[in-house]
Structure 1
Amino acid sequence: MALSDWDTAKVLLADLDEKQLSGSDRDFYDYLSIYFTTKDIPFETLSENYKRLYDKLPPGEARIKLAKSLLSLSAHLSEWDYAFALSKDVEQQLETIDDPNLLAAGWKGMLVFYNTAGLRQQGESMVKKILNSTVADSKLRCFARTMRAEMNLEVNKATELQFNDAIDNCKRAGETFFIAFNFVHLLDFYVTTAEYNKARIIEREAQWRVDELKFAPLSGSFLLSQAEMRLGENRIDEAEALAIQSINSNSQGEYKQGVKGAYRILIDIYQGRKDYEKAYQYLLLKQEIEALLTSEQSIRELAYQKATFDVKAKENEILLLDKQNKLLQAEALYSGQKMKTTMLALAMVSVVGVALLFWSYRSRKLTRKLRYLATRDSLTGLYNRGFFSEKAVTLLTQAQKSGQPVSMLLLDLDLFKSVNDTYGHQVGDWVLREVAASLLRVCPKEGIVTRMGGEEFGLIVTGLSAKDSFQLAERCRQDIEKIDSSISGHKFKVSASFGVSTSSQVGYSLDNLFSASDLALYQSKRFGRNQVYEYNSNLTQFG
């Protein structure tokens, strides 16, 4: 039955006499009966139907295929607690499967999920399993190479060879969608590396392949790459039109990263035109979508840690029960020896008690760790943006009641992308950690420091005048400028641009402080970098 021919498959399924089916055939029938309702019922209802059937199915091919569908659906619905718990269950099932074809199908499902969840290390392990498999056909190899190139592109580790290799594999497999997918991402790669001549060469083929598919998310991604390219070529009006088209193609609101990129392009364009009112409007929209992305990432990370914790808890519970059983067997064996029996019983109680105490300690420790991970940036140890916003709102409320001024400092590392591209991400990560340490060193104890995302950081402090806030930003700037890069094994300059605003200028609204400081930061970057700009109301009208 060809699932790609939806209507024909539904007819064939309806013609089957389910009463004549048994075993694995009946399992597949039950799975497909739900699968073919995908276009007819809400995704939430479809998810519940899948979950009920998953709990009933025995281990085997139908359960693995159902798990693939349920993983993708749970991720789409942001049911991350369930999705990660299910992924752990599937991982354990795959360890017990001998059928190489079923294994390959399971690896593909897990690769899709890991990519969606942003678990690139786990995704790469699935790619390697598929490519090393003797049963993976050309279509599956095309898919694996495509996912590898996409995952690497997201962390700036992709190469031109990876995309060309994926395109060649997909052409041999006749996979039209993934050929177009790789062309769009290769265009993005060329634009990111400012190789505009190469980008122009493939743009036309990418265009007709995307137009042929009529797949909105891919069209939005292609339009964004074109907008970036036109901006790099200083074809500003075309870049503006393409960025707006990219936003409008995201009518379902699923392509948040792309929309964020389009907003960034429009902000740059309107800043260049000195149309600060429009720049400010898109800045607010960009901040709103960044907050959503940060929140979603925190939820995913917490759900993943919880799923890992639950698996460990079950493993320890099994080990504990095994020890109890062995002690009970020993008790029965020596039941005639009263003293020994008593001693064994005491030993059992001791072991169980110690184990429970140990597990209680581990549980509390892991709970604290999960709470820490939910509020911290994993690379620098600073507060993440979501928790920073919560703390800042509380601080602003208290400061407003007491009449204390509040200052917001935003900074962005200068030319940080070139550090990553030239020296690699390990050096880039080292720079981010050094900057975080510098900010903690200079910032007053009552201040709050955060990594906003990427190479952008923020500070919020109370009790400082506008002049004092500016001086604090200047001290931070100078301290960052003193970072000795030679420790990393390379010699380069580290600097940052700052934007500062205070509650005396824009009030005690967190959004207002963010926007005002961000606007001042844009001026700092635009007019030379490695300097501090203070917000004033004229920034929205004049340069």
Structure 2
Amino acid sequence: MWLDKLLYLDRIKSSDFQEFSVKLNELKADENQLSGFEQEYLTLLKAYSAVYEGNTQQALSILMPLIEQADAVISFRAKALAINSLVLVRRYLDAFVYLEQLIIQLDMVSQPEAREQGMRVIALMYNLIGKHDLSLSYIDQLINEKPSSNAVCAAHQLRAEALYLSGRTDDFQLKSAEGLTYCTEHNEPLWANIIVALIARHKIDLNDYQGAISLLLSHNNQVESTRYYSLILKFDSVLAQAYYGLGQVDLAKEHAIKVTDALKQDRSSLVAAETFAVLHQIAKTEKNYQQALEYNEQYMAAFTAYMDDKSAQQMAYHTAHSEILAQNQKIALLDKDNQLLQYEQTALKHQATFNKLLIVALVLLVLGLAFMAYRSFVARQRFKALAEYDDLTAISNRYHFSASAKEALALCEKGQLPAALIVFDLDHFKQINDQYGHAAGDWALRQTVDTCRNFMRNNDVFGRIGGEEFAILLPGCQSDKAHLLADICRDAISNIDTAVSGYEFKLSASFGVTSAQISGYHFTKLIEDADTAMYQAKQQGRNKVQFFQG
């Protein structure tokens, strides 16, 4: 009887949270009557309740004992849920250590609900760090196992997210519509509305602001009823962007303020950065320049914090992955040692001396091959770096930048995605070299690159195309956002503290910006137009951003 009630709660936890909460409280009153396994199951559901209500620390305090002491299936599910909670509190290393354990344990788990949850979490985490192909492989595996409708809906949501983030527009449009239909038909409002938010964002990318608003408003009451904090904020943020796109400034501001008020304690998310960007644009439209400056500073802080967060996630993933590989190698080495001992004991009965010599020879051979392979690898990496990267700034040289940019532009043109190009040149750089020496000039170049890198996305192409001239290709980026990025970089360069170099001098740069909408997708034409705009910026007094007017 009790187990049936627990299974029922497990099924409705994401589709009917109100019913889930009521029935969970009823079961808590009878907790002493449950068996040991049933109590562990109930504890797991308590953790789910805490997660949905936003009590992440409480959820973790419930989950940790389950991971260490509970039934194997409950422990596996607790670990999967803990990964989500650890991400929310930014304990990324712990989350990715658990993720590596989950991947290893998945093949040893046969219980359907546990396998569903494990594959969902693995796909989610791979989406988080941009490994969308790996995410899609686990999503396909999950759907092929014919799981519950709830798990299928979660898989549809994760697949839509992976396709959207990886820029596969055609597949996203098809699969997101398919997922929304399925989740709506199977009464899974949480997953359905996360897909709705993604579709609305895509409509904004296509400048279909009214379509985005209509879609979001038709689902808004349902989203509010889920009481899922992050989804509600995401809806308000996307509505703010869409209303601003339509020119309905008051409504845009209303939804944006709701988001920023709710995020007072956490402003390192992409939602926060996008919302402050809208408020910045609104303040500029209203000619309230003081407030526009404040919102721009808040946008910069939120965007920088978000990028730092993504870097921390990547670092945590690679650290955890390396630790697991090291452990596996250690185990493999121990296994090999045991095998060698067994062989040695057998060999000693027959030909001890011969076998010892043979082992020595094999070890020397392995070491020799490993040394040769290592030298070959190092040489290949060194030659590749020399051929493709600038040895002073460690970004792409002109040849590699051109090749990478042309490839990215071809993909943008094929998918009819926007693209923009920024070209900038340090002002009076020859004077720095002449007055303070080439060491100071080299320092200025490196510092400029490091400063600009802070504001770029992973898929932006950054290269040094001349002595003090640089270029940034922005695939999938509208012209207004490219102009904003150029202005942010310009401001950041002008604020570099040059005293660290041992000399004090003024550092600034002039920027030229163009887009594929104006200059087309041909790389040479984009470079020419951006270069023209840059020289116009220099003629206007330097330390400026000029957009190519055609």
TM above 0.5, yes or no, is: yes
Instruction: Call closer, same or farther: CA 1:335–1:94 in 2, change over 3 Å.
Output: same
Equivalent runs, 1:55-204 vs 2, <5 Å: 55-57=68-70, 60-134=72-146, 136-158=147-169, 159-204=172-217
Q: In 2, Cα distance between the equivalents of 1:50 and 1:504? A: 47
Indicate if the aligned counterparts of 2:77 and 2:118 stay in contact, CA closer than 8 A: yes
Q: CA deviation at 1:54?
A: 1.8
Paired position in structure 1 for 2:400 = none
Q: In 2, Cα distance between the equivalents of 1:319 and 1:346? A: 23
Instruction: Call closer, same or farther: CA 1:63–1:219 in 2, change over 3 Å.
Output: closer
One-letter amino acid matched to 2:150: K
One-letter amino acid matched to 1:453: M
Equivalent runs, 1:290-301 vs 2, <5 Å: 290-301=303-314
Cα distance per residue 1:376-428 (max 9 Å; x no partner): xxxx9799x9x99xxxxxxxxxxxxxxxxxxxxxxxxx9x9997653349997
Instruction: Call closer, same or farther: CA 1:330–1:445 in 2, change over 3 Å.
Output: same
One-letter amino acid matched to 1:239: A
Q: CA deviation at 1:260?
A: 0.9
Indicate if the aligned counterparts of 2:157 and 2:195 stay in contact, CA closer than 8 A: yes
Paired position in structure 1 for 2:257 = 244
Residue aligned with 1:334, SS:
helix
Indicate if the aligned counterparts of 2:47 and 2:62 stay in contact, CA closer than 8 A: yes
Indicate if the aligned counterparts of 2:259 and 2:272 stay in contact, CA closer than 8 A: yes
Q: CA deviation at 1:137?
A: 2.4
Counterpart of 1:232 (choices 231, 237, 245) is: 245
* 2:324 equivalent to 1:311: yes
* 2:485 equivalent to 1:508: no
Cα distance per residue 1:82-102 (max 9 Å; x no partner): 211111111111112344454
Counterpart of 2:292 (choices 256, 275, 279) is: 279
Cα distance per residue 1:425-454 (max 9 Å; x no partner): 9997xx99x989xxxxx9964412243313
Cα distance per residue 1:453-503 (max 9 Å; x no partner): 13878899xxxxxxxxxx977x546xx89xxx9xxxxxxxxx989558699
Indicate if the aligned counterparts of 1:138 and 1:172 stay in contact, CA closer than 8 A: no
Indicate if the aligned counterparts of 2:283 and 2:289 stay in contact, CA closer than 8 A: yes
Q: In 2, Cα distance between the equivalents of 1:262 and 1:41? A: 21
Indicate if the aligned counterparts of 1:216 and 1:250 stay in contact, CA closer than 8 A: no
Indicate if the aligned counterparts of 2:493 and 2:508 stay in contact, CA closer than 8 A: no
Residue aligned with 2:247, SS:
coil
Instruction: Call closer, same or farther: CA 1:326–1:214 in 2, change over 3 Å.
Output: closer
Q: CA deviation at 1:145?
A: 0.9
Q: In 1, Cα distance between the equivalents of 2:162 and 2:52? A: 29
Percent identity (aligned): 16
Q: Provide the aligned C-alpha RMSD in A.
A: 5.2
- Unpaired stretches in structure 2, ≥5 consecutive residues: 1-5, 14-19, 378-387, 396-404, 425-429, 431-437, 476-481, 500-506, 520-528, 545-550
Cα distance per residue 1:491-523 (max 9 Å; x no partner): xxxx9895586999767389xxxxx979x8699
Q: In 2, Cα distance between the equivalents of 1:80 and 1:361? A: 37
Instruction: Call closer, same or farther: CA 1:76–1:27 in 2, change over 3 Å.
Output: same
Instruction: Call closer, same or farther: CA 1:95–1:263 in 2, change over 3 Å.
Output: same
Q: CA deviation at 1:168?
A: 0.9
Q: In 1, Cα distance between the equivalents of 2:257 and 2:408? A: 25
* 2:346 equivalent to 1:333: yes
Paired position in structure 2 for 1:47 = 60
Q: In 2, Cα distance between the equivalents of 1:49 and 1:232? A: 44
Indicate if the aligned counterparts of 1:256 and 1:289 stay in contact, CA closer than 8 A: yes
Q: In 1, Cα distance between the equivalents of 2:55 and 2:238? A: 33
Indicate if the aligned counterparts of 1:266 and 1:282 stay in contact, CA closer than 8 A: yes
Indicate if the aligned counterparts of 2:73 and 2:111 stay in contact, CA closer than 8 A: no
TM-score (norm 1): 0.66
Q: CA deviation at 1:306?
A: 1.9
Paired position in structure 2 for 1:423 = 414
Indicate if the aligned counterparts of 1:419 and 1:427 stay in contact, CA closer than 8 A: no
Equivalent runs, 1:256-405 vs 2, <5 Å: 256-272=269-285, 275-337=288-350, 340-345=351-356, 348=359
Paired position in structure 2 for 1:453 = 456
Paired position in structure 2 for 1:8 = 23
Indicate if the aligned counterparts of 2:67 and 2:75 stay in contact, CA closer than 8 A: yes
Q: In 1, Cα distance between the equivalents of 2:494 and 2:194? A: 47
* 2:201 equivalent to 1:220: no
Q: In 1, Cα distance between the equivalents of 2:221 and 2:121? A: 29
Indicate if the aligned counterparts of 1:270 and 1:279 stay in contact, CA closer than 8 A: yes
TM-score (norm 2): 0.66
Q: In 2, Cα distance between the equivalents of 1:253 and 1:63? A: 30
Q: CA deviation at 1:178?
A: 2.8
Q: CA deviation at 1:174?
A: 0.8
Q: In 1, Cα distance between the equivalents of 2:43 and 2:228? A: 30
Indicate if the aligned counterparts of 2:216 and 2:235 stay in contact, CA closer than 8 A: no
One-letter amino acid matched to 1:156: G
Cα distance per residue 1:15-53 (max 9 Å; x no partner): 3557x846x557546656776777999744653553344
Q: In 2, Cα distance between the equivalents of 1:228 and 1:41? A: 25
- In the alignment of these two chains, the number of paired residues is 455
- Unpaired stretches in structure 1, ≥5 consecutive residues: 367-379, 389-413, 437-441, 461-470, 486-494, 511-515
One-letter amino acid matched to 1:141: V
Residue aligned with 1:335, SS:
helix
